[in-house]
Each structure stands twice: as C-alpha cells, then as structure tokens.
C-alpha cells in the first residue's frame, strides 16, 4: 500500500477499502489541524479513483498525466473551491458555480469531484447552498470537504458526510516520511518534525521556505519581550500586529506552542518539546510560572484562536490576550 503520504495510514486503508469494496460515500469530511495533510489525503483519494494505471489496486501511480493533473488541481472533472485571494470567506457564488459544474456529465473520469478546501471559512449562506447537493447528490458525484474541525460547520452539513478525523502525526513517523519521501537529511527532518508539531505540510513548507523558520524565531523573541513588557508595550504591539491577519495566525500558532511546551514540562509529561531549539527559554519561563498560570494562559490563547476563526475584531482579541498573560522577567 502506498499513497506516499506522511502518516494517516489508517485513513488511507479506510478510503482504499471504500474503493475496493465499491462502498464509496457521496460526501467525505476530512478534519484536522492546519498542515496535517487534509488536502493531500483528498487529492490522493481522487487520484486513486481516476488513475488509469492503478488497475484494481486502489493505489494511484502518482506519475501518469492523470495523477499529475489531479495533483495540480487541473483535472477536468475536479472542481476545487477555496477561499479566493483577498477574500476571507468561501462565498455563495462559488458554491453555486460548483453545483452547476457537478450537474454536468463527467468529461473524462466516470465521476465528477467537488473539493471544498478549508470549508470552515464558508459563510453560513454558502454552507446552506450546498445542502441540497449533499442531500441528493447526482449519482456520479463525490464531494470532499476539509475543515480544521467539524464543529465549525453546520450540523446539517456534517451529518451528511463521512468524517475522517486526522491527528498530528507522531514525530518519528513525520521525520521518517520527510527523509524517505522528500529526501530531507535526518537531522533536519527530526528538527522539522519537532517544530512543526507533527504537521507534515508545515514541516515541508519550512524546508522549502527558510523565511518561515526565521519568522518563527522572531515571533518567539517577540513573545519573550511581550512577557517582560508592561501594558503600554503590550497594547502597542497588539495594535501593530492586528494590521496583519496573516502574522496574527502565525503568532498564535507559535505562542500556543510555547505554552504547550511549558505545560508539558510543568506536568512532567513525556511529550517531547515542540520548540526543541528553545529549551533554555522554555525553562526560563517555566521557573517563573505555576501550573495554574500556565493553564490559564493556554485557555486565553485557545479563546483568541477560536475568536479569530469567528472573524472577531483582531485588535480587541489581541488586547484581551495581552492583558491576561503573566509578567516574566527577561533572561537576556
């Protein structure tokens, strides 16, 4: 069996079983954290269903023209929908266009595929407009939705899909996959497995674009400054970064990973450090906070993360967060 994915073997087996047993569902919902490989799993599944070389194996060859076109999302029977540039949401017009395309006969494959990426970003009206197609899909259509969590979607959507819940990939599996499938040297692969928290797509993005690691280093340092800073400094920072929503998302991911590390260390859990290159800084904070403070900080971060998903006011959300964080004297 090989779909050349890092981790998620059980999900590959399940989907491959649906192909081999002729028990395909009309709609799938793949959920899991950002960067865990939801879209890749969806693409491999579509390749397995369209590859002319795979025969009855349920495996795509990954090298034929069909596999390559599906991978580039340029296959004529595949209709991807996601948040368009300069937009925050998947809009109702995009869903209407998708429904129209899916209603036509397949051009090349035996079926047509709707791929709805990061559907947690679909407006309620866009989600509602998909309901009828989910209830009575044309016979030759398979819909695949991805979302960080099913709770971000309407119940009427999730109840009509088979959910496939992906988790972070164990660090040793991530590291091995980076080495074997992407030829990344062992030491770098192990480092990337840690700092990505077992999210293969984030690890690969960091490998390809060193700027991501540089930004992560800067965000880590900025957090140390903020923890040492007074409320004036913290509010000025909140005001400044709230102008850049992309930075806020990276900031929260990095800062949450810091506090998760502190929590794991303070509870003496065996979970390895995500910020493996910043152990000294983690220990420095750990010496100045108790367990309750750590847990409260993480609750604050998770709330901020959730509010951002609901398109809350960035500046207010960040100011609330800043107010709640403890003060830590600087180590530098």
Rounded to whole angstroms, how far apart are CA atoms 224 and 218? Answer: 10
Least distance in angstroms from the C-beta of 50 to Zn ion? 8
Least distance in angstroms from the C-beta of 68 to Zn ion? 8
Residue closer to Zn ion (CB basis): 71 or 222? 71
Least distance in angstroms from the C-beta of 67 to Zn ion? 3
Binding site for Zn ion (CB under 5 A): 51, 53, 60-61, 64, 67
Least distance in angstroms from the C-beta of 52 to Zn ion? 7
Residue closer to Zn ion (CB basis): 40 or 317? 40
Rounded to whole angstroms, how far apart are CA atoms 158 and 152? Answer: 10
Cα dihedral 87, 90, 94, 100, rounded to 10, equals 170
- Closest by Cα among 100, 164, 162 to 132: 100
Q: Classify each residue of 27-41 as buried b or exposed e, where b means 16 or more C-beta atoms within 10 Å of its C-beta.
A: bbbbbbbebbbbbbb
Residue that the structure tokens 């005001």 belong to? 239
Least distance in angstroms from the C-beta of 23 to Zn ion? 22
Rounded to whole angstroms, how far apart are CA atoms 249 and 187? Answer: 28
Least distance in angstroms from the C-beta of 69 to Zn ion? 10
Residue closer to Zn ion (CB basis): 47 or 254? 47
Least distance in angstroms from the C-beta of 66 to Zn ion? 5
Residue closer to Zn ion (CB basis): 53 or 97? 53
- Strand-pair partners of 27: 143
Residue closer to Zn ion (CB basis): 44 or 199? 44
Cα dihedral 205, 206, 210, 212, rounded to 10, equals 90
Tell me how far CA of residue 332 lies from CA of 63, 217, 224, 255, 281, in angstroms: 52, 15, 9, 19, 10
Residue closer to Zn ion (CB basis): 58 or 198? 58
Query: How big is the chain, counted in residues?
Result: 332
Residue closer to Zn ion (CB basis): 24 or 64? 64
For the chain, the first-to-last Cα distance in angstroms comes to 51
């Amino acid at each position: 069996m090989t779909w050349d994915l890092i981790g998620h073997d059980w999900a590959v087996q399940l989907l491959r079983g649906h192909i081999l047993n002729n028990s395909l569902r009309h709609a799938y919902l793949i959920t899991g954290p950002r960067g865990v490989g939801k879209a890749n799993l969806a693409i491999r599944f579509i390749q397995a269903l369209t590859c002319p070389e795979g025969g009855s194996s349920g495996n795509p060859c990954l090298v034929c023209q069909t596999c390559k076109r599906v991978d580039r999302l340029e296959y004529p029977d595949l209709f991807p929908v996601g948040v368009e540039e300069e937009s925050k949401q998947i809009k109702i017009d995009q869903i209407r266009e998708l429904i129209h395309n899916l209603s036509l006969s397949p051009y090349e494959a035996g079926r047509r595929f709707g791929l709805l990426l990061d559907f947690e970003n679909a407006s309620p009206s866009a989600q509602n407009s998909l309901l009828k197609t989910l209830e009575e899909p044309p016979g030759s259509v398979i819909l695949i939705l991805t979302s960080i969590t099913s709770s971000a979607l309407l119940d009427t959507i999730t109840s009509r899909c088979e959910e496939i819940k992906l988790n972070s990939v164990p660090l040793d599996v991530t590291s091995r996959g980076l080495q074997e499938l992407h030829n990344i040297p062992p030491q770098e692969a192990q480092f990337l497995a840690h700092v990505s928290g077992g999210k293969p797509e984030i690890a690969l993005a960091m490998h390809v674009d060193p700027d991501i690691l540089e930004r992560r280093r800067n965000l880590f340092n900025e957090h140390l400054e903020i923890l040492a800073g007074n409320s004036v400094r913290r509010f000025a920072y909140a005001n400044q970064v709230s102008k850049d929503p992309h930075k806020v998302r990276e900031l929260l991911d990095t800062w949450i990973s810091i506090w998760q590390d502190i929590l794991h260390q303070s509870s003496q859990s065996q979970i390895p450090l995500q910020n493996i290159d910043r152990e000294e800084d983690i220990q420095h904070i750990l010496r100045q906070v108790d367990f309750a403070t750590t847990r409260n900080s993480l609750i604050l971060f998770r709330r901020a993360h959730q509010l951002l998903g609901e398109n809350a006011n960035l500046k207010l959300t960040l100011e609330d967060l800043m107010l709640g964080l403890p003060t830590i004297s600087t180590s530098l």
